[in-house]
Amino acid sequence: MPGIEASLRAVRARMGAAERENGRAAGEVGLLAVSKTFDALAVRQAWEAGQRVFGESYLQEALDKMAQLADLPIEWHFIGPLQSNKTRPVANHFAWVHSVDRLKIAQRLSEQRDIHLPPLNVCVQVNVSGEASKSGVAPAEVPALLAAVTALPRLRLRGLMCIPEPTGDAALARGRFAQLRQLRDRANEAEGLAMDTLSMGMSDDMEWAIAEGATLVRVGSAIFGDRPAA
Protein backbone atom coordinates (compact mmCIF):
# COMPACT_ATOMS: atom_id res chain seq x y z
CA MET A 1 0.00 0.00 0.00
CA PRO A 2 1.44 3.38 -0.95
CA GLY A 3 1.36 6.12 1.68
CA ILE A 4 -1.67 8.31 2.28
CA GLU A 5 -0.24 11.24 0.35
CA ALA A 6 0.35 9.11 -2.77
CA SER A 7 -3.08 7.47 -2.44
CA LEU A 8 -4.78 10.84 -2.16
CA ARG A 9 -2.94 12.02 -5.26
CA ALA A 10 -4.07 8.90 -7.14
CA VAL A 11 -7.69 9.43 -6.07
CA ARG A 12 -7.59 13.06 -7.16
CA ALA A 13 -6.14 11.95 -10.51
CA ARG A 14 -8.99 9.45 -10.96
CA MET A 15 -11.51 12.18 -10.16
CA GLY A 16 -9.84 14.60 -12.57
CA ALA A 17 -9.87 12.04 -15.38
CA ALA A 18 -13.55 11.29 -14.75
CA GLU A 19 -14.35 15.01 -14.77
CA ARG A 20 -12.58 15.43 -18.11
CA GLU A 21 -14.13 12.38 -19.71
CA ASN A 22 -17.63 13.45 -18.72
CA GLY A 23 -17.51 17.12 -19.57
CA ARG A 24 -17.40 18.19 -15.94
CA ALA A 25 -15.36 21.25 -14.96
CA ALA A 26 -11.93 20.54 -13.46
CA GLY A 27 -12.14 20.39 -9.67
CA GLU A 28 -15.94 20.53 -9.73
CA VAL A 29 -16.38 17.30 -7.76
CA GLY A 30 -15.53 17.45 -4.07
CA LEU A 31 -13.69 14.72 -2.17
CA LEU A 32 -14.90 13.58 1.24
CA ALA A 33 -12.15 11.44 2.78
CA VAL A 34 -13.87 8.67 4.75
CA SER A 35 -11.62 8.00 7.73
CA LYS A 36 -13.82 5.58 9.70
CA THR A 37 -11.78 2.84 11.43
CA PHE A 38 -8.54 4.77 10.76
CA ASP A 39 -6.85 6.66 13.55
CA ALA A 40 -6.22 10.35 14.13
CA LEU A 41 -2.69 10.04 12.81
CA ALA A 42 -4.00 8.87 9.43
CA VAL A 43 -6.36 11.84 9.31
CA ARG A 44 -3.52 14.18 10.22
CA GLN A 45 -1.39 12.75 7.41
CA ALA A 46 -4.22 13.30 4.94
CA TRP A 47 -4.62 16.86 6.24
CA GLU A 48 -0.91 17.47 5.72
CA ALA A 49 -1.39 16.23 2.15
CA GLY A 50 -4.03 18.91 1.61
CA GLN A 51 -7.29 17.13 2.44
CA ARG A 52 -9.69 19.29 4.47
CA VAL A 53 -13.03 17.44 4.57
CA PHE A 54 -13.48 14.11 6.36
CA GLY A 55 -16.38 11.71 6.80
CA GLU A 56 -17.09 9.45 9.77
CA SER A 57 -19.72 6.74 10.35
CA TYR A 58 -19.41 5.88 14.03
CA LEU A 59 -20.18 8.62 16.51
CA GLN A 60 -17.93 7.73 19.46
CA GLU A 61 -14.98 6.97 17.23
CA ALA A 62 -15.49 10.30 15.48
CA LEU A 63 -15.70 12.27 18.74
CA ASP A 64 -12.46 10.67 19.97
CA LYS A 65 -10.69 11.63 16.74
CA MET A 66 -12.06 15.16 16.83
CA ALA A 67 -10.62 15.61 20.32
CA GLN A 68 -7.20 14.49 19.12
CA LEU A 69 -7.37 16.74 16.06
CA ALA A 70 -8.85 19.83 17.71
CA ASP A 71 -5.89 21.90 16.46
CA LEU A 72 -7.02 21.38 12.83
CA PRO A 73 -10.06 23.22 11.41
CA ILE A 74 -11.37 20.06 9.74
CA GLU A 75 -14.84 20.05 8.19
CA TRP A 76 -16.44 16.88 9.58
CA HIS A 77 -19.31 15.09 7.84
CA PHE A 78 -21.41 12.38 9.50
CA ILE A 79 -22.28 9.64 7.00
CA GLY A 80 -23.33 6.71 9.19
CA PRO A 81 -26.63 5.33 10.42
CA LEU A 82 -28.37 7.70 12.84
CA GLN A 83 -30.06 6.64 16.05
CA SER A 84 -32.50 9.12 17.51
CA ASN A 85 -30.95 8.93 20.99
CA LYS A 86 -27.58 10.07 19.58
CA THR A 87 -28.62 13.02 17.45
CA ARG A 88 -27.44 15.77 19.83
CA PRO A 89 -23.67 15.19 19.46
CA VAL A 90 -24.14 14.65 15.74
CA ALA A 91 -26.07 17.93 15.47
CA ASN A 92 -23.30 19.86 17.22
CA HIS A 93 -19.99 18.28 16.23
CA PHE A 94 -20.45 18.01 12.48
CA ALA A 95 -20.86 20.52 9.66
CA TRP A 96 -22.83 18.08 7.51
CA VAL A 97 -24.99 14.99 7.95
CA HIS A 98 -25.47 12.84 4.82
CA SER A 99 -27.67 10.12 6.28
CA VAL A 100 -30.99 11.78 7.15
CA ASP A 101 -33.62 9.20 6.25
CA ARG A 102 -36.64 10.01 8.38
CA LEU A 103 -38.41 13.07 9.67
CA LYS A 104 -37.95 12.31 13.36
CA ILE A 105 -34.17 12.40 12.95
CA ALA A 106 -34.31 15.64 10.97
CA GLN A 107 -36.52 17.28 13.59
CA ARG A 108 -34.18 16.30 16.39
CA LEU A 109 -31.10 17.52 14.52
CA SER A 110 -32.79 20.86 13.91
CA GLU A 111 -33.99 21.25 17.51
CA GLN A 112 -30.61 20.28 18.94
CA ARG A 113 -28.31 22.27 16.66
CA ASP A 114 -26.59 24.95 18.76
CA ILE A 115 -28.04 28.36 18.01
CA HIS A 116 -24.52 29.82 17.77
CA LEU A 117 -23.57 27.47 14.96
CA PRO A 118 -24.60 27.99 11.34
CA PRO A 119 -27.44 25.74 10.15
CA LEU A 120 -26.46 22.07 9.78
CA ASN A 121 -25.99 21.02 6.16
CA VAL A 122 -27.96 17.86 5.45
CA CYS A 123 -28.49 15.37 2.68
CA VAL A 124 -31.40 12.96 2.57
CA GLN A 125 -30.25 9.38 2.07
CA VAL A 126 -32.23 7.50 -0.57
CA ASN A 127 -32.46 3.72 -0.86
CA VAL A 128 -32.00 3.54 -4.63
CA SER A 129 -31.40 -0.21 -4.77
CA GLY A 130 -34.59 -1.10 -2.87
CA GLU A 131 -32.77 -3.56 -0.63
CA ALA A 132 -34.78 -4.18 2.52
CA SER A 133 -31.70 -4.09 4.76
CA LYS A 134 -30.34 -0.77 3.49
CA SER A 135 -31.07 2.48 5.20
CA GLY A 136 -32.45 5.35 3.22
CA VAL A 137 -35.89 6.61 2.36
CA ALA A 138 -37.75 4.94 -0.52
CA PRO A 139 -37.68 7.03 -3.72
CA ALA A 140 -41.46 7.50 -3.65
CA GLU A 141 -41.22 9.08 -0.19
CA VAL A 142 -38.45 11.52 -1.08
CA PRO A 143 -40.62 14.54 -2.04
CA ALA A 144 -42.59 14.50 1.22
CA LEU A 145 -39.46 14.15 3.36
CA LEU A 146 -37.70 16.96 1.47
CA ALA A 147 -40.66 19.28 1.93
CA ALA A 148 -40.65 18.58 5.67
CA VAL A 149 -36.87 19.01 6.00
CA THR A 150 -36.84 22.36 4.24
CA ALA A 151 -39.29 23.66 6.85
CA LEU A 152 -36.85 22.96 9.71
CA PRO A 153 -35.10 26.18 10.75
CA ARG A 154 -31.71 24.86 11.87
CA LEU A 155 -31.10 22.60 8.86
CA ARG A 156 -29.93 23.56 5.40
CA LEU A 157 -31.04 20.98 2.85
CA ARG A 158 -28.11 20.48 0.46
CA GLY A 159 -29.05 17.41 -1.53
CA LEU A 160 -29.35 13.64 -1.74
CA MET A 161 -27.05 10.76 -0.85
CA CYS A 162 -27.06 7.09 -1.83
CA ILE A 163 -25.08 3.89 -1.25
CA PRO A 164 -26.08 1.52 -4.06
CA GLU A 165 -25.40 -2.19 -3.80
CA PRO A 166 -21.79 -3.02 -4.75
CA THR A 167 -21.63 -4.18 -8.36
CA GLY A 168 -19.17 -4.42 -11.18
CA ASP A 169 -22.00 -3.79 -13.62
CA ALA A 170 -21.49 -0.30 -15.03
CA ALA A 171 -25.00 0.01 -16.43
CA LEU A 172 -26.59 -1.02 -13.14
CA ALA A 173 -24.43 1.31 -11.06
CA ARG A 174 -24.92 4.24 -13.41
CA GLY A 175 -28.66 3.64 -13.39
CA ARG A 176 -28.73 3.98 -9.59
CA PHE A 177 -26.72 7.19 -9.67
CA ALA A 178 -28.84 8.58 -12.51
CA GLN A 179 -31.94 7.87 -10.43
CA LEU A 180 -30.57 9.95 -7.56
CA ARG A 181 -29.78 12.81 -9.94
CA GLN A 182 -33.28 12.70 -11.42
CA LEU A 183 -34.85 12.70 -7.96
CA ARG A 184 -32.80 15.77 -7.06
CA ASP A 185 -33.54 17.59 -10.31
CA ARG A 186 -37.27 16.86 -10.19
CA ALA A 187 -37.55 17.95 -6.58
CA ASN A 188 -35.65 21.15 -7.29
CA GLU A 189 -38.01 21.93 -10.14
CA ALA A 190 -41.31 20.76 -8.65
CA GLU A 191 -40.78 22.10 -5.12
CA GLY A 192 -38.65 25.12 -5.97
CA LEU A 193 -35.72 23.74 -3.97
CA ALA A 194 -32.06 24.60 -4.54
CA MET A 195 -30.30 21.33 -3.72
CA ASP A 196 -26.73 21.58 -5.05
CA THR A 197 -25.32 18.28 -3.76
CA LEU A 198 -25.31 14.69 -4.98
CA SER A 199 -23.29 12.68 -2.45
CA MET A 200 -22.57 9.50 -4.37
CA GLY A 201 -19.62 7.36 -5.42
CA MET A 202 -17.05 5.50 -3.30
CA SER A 203 -13.63 3.90 -3.91
CA ASP A 204 -14.92 1.32 -6.38
CA ASP A 205 -17.53 3.31 -8.29
CA MET A 206 -16.56 6.98 -8.16
CA GLU A 207 -16.05 7.23 -11.93
CA TRP A 208 -19.60 6.08 -12.64
CA ALA A 209 -20.98 8.45 -10.02
CA ILE A 210 -19.04 11.38 -11.48
CA ALA A 211 -20.34 10.46 -14.94
CA GLU A 212 -23.89 10.73 -13.54
CA GLY A 213 -23.42 14.06 -11.81
CA ALA A 214 -21.90 13.42 -8.36
CA THR A 215 -20.81 16.64 -6.68
CA LEU A 216 -19.19 14.94 -3.67
CA VAL A 217 -17.64 11.48 -3.68
CA ARG A 218 -17.05 9.67 -0.37
CA VAL A 219 -13.79 7.75 -0.58
CA GLY A 220 -12.26 5.63 2.18
CA SER A 221 -10.22 2.56 1.28
CA ALA A 222 -8.64 4.06 -1.84
CA ILE A 223 -7.09 6.71 0.43
CA PHE A 224 -6.48 4.96 3.75
CA GLY A 225 -6.22 1.30 2.75
CA ASP A 226 -8.41 -1.70 3.42
CA ARG A 227 -10.53 -1.71 6.55
CA PRO A 228 -10.72 -4.82 8.71
CA ALA A 229 -13.76 -6.86 7.65
CA ALA A 230 -16.81 -5.81 9.69
Ligand X SMILES: *Cc1c(COP(=O)(O)O)cnc(C)c1O
Number of Cβ within a 10 Å radius of residue 204: 14
Which own/partner pairs from 48-53 qualify as long-range (CB within 8 Å, at least 24 positions apart)?
48/5, 49/4, 49/5, 49/8, 49/9, 50/8, 51/8, 51/223, 53/77
Supply the minimum distance, in Å, between the C-beta of residue 153 and ligand X: 27
Residue 209 sits in the site that holds ligand X (CB under 6 A): no
State residue 228 phi and psi, 5-degree precision: -60, 145
Q: For ligand X, which stretch binds (CB under 6 A), given 16-24, 70-78, 180-188, 212-220?
A: 212-220
Supply the minimum distance, in Å, between the C-beta of residue 8 and ligand X: 13
Supply the minimum distance, in Å, between the C-beta of residue 183 and ligand X: 18
Residue 203 sits in the site that holds ligand X (CB under 6 A): yes
**Interacting residue with ligand X among 11, 18, 211, 219 (CB under 6 A):** 219
**Interacting residue with ligand X among 34, 183, 210, 211 (CB under 6 A):** 34
State residue 41 phi and psi, 5-degree precision: -65, -40
Please tell me whether residue 70 adopts helix, strand or coil conformation. Answer: coil
Number of Cβ within a 10 Å radius of residue 229: 4
Q: For ligand X, which stretch binds (CB under 6 A), given 87-95, 110-118, 148-156, 202-210?
A: 202-210
Supply the minimum distance, in Å, between the C-beta of residue 77 and ligand X: 10
Rounded to 5°, angle at Cα 131 from 130 and 134: 110
Residue 4 sits in the site that holds ligand X (CB under 6 A): no
Residue 221 sits in the site that holds ligand X (CB under 6 A): yes
Amino acid at 219: V
Please tell me whether residue 72 adopts helix, strand or coil conformation. Answer: coil
Question: Which residue has the closest beta carbon to ligand X?
Answer: 220
Size of the site for ligand X (CB under 6 A): 13
Q: For ligand X, which stretch binds (CB under 6 A), given 1-9, 14-22, 176-184, 218-226?
A: 218-226
Residue 210 sits in the site that holds ligand X (CB under 6 A): no
Region of residue 183 (left: phi > 0; alpha: psi -120 to 50; beta: else): alpha
- Provide the binding-site residues for ligand X, judged by CB under 6 A: 34, 36, 57, 79, 163, 202-204, 218-222
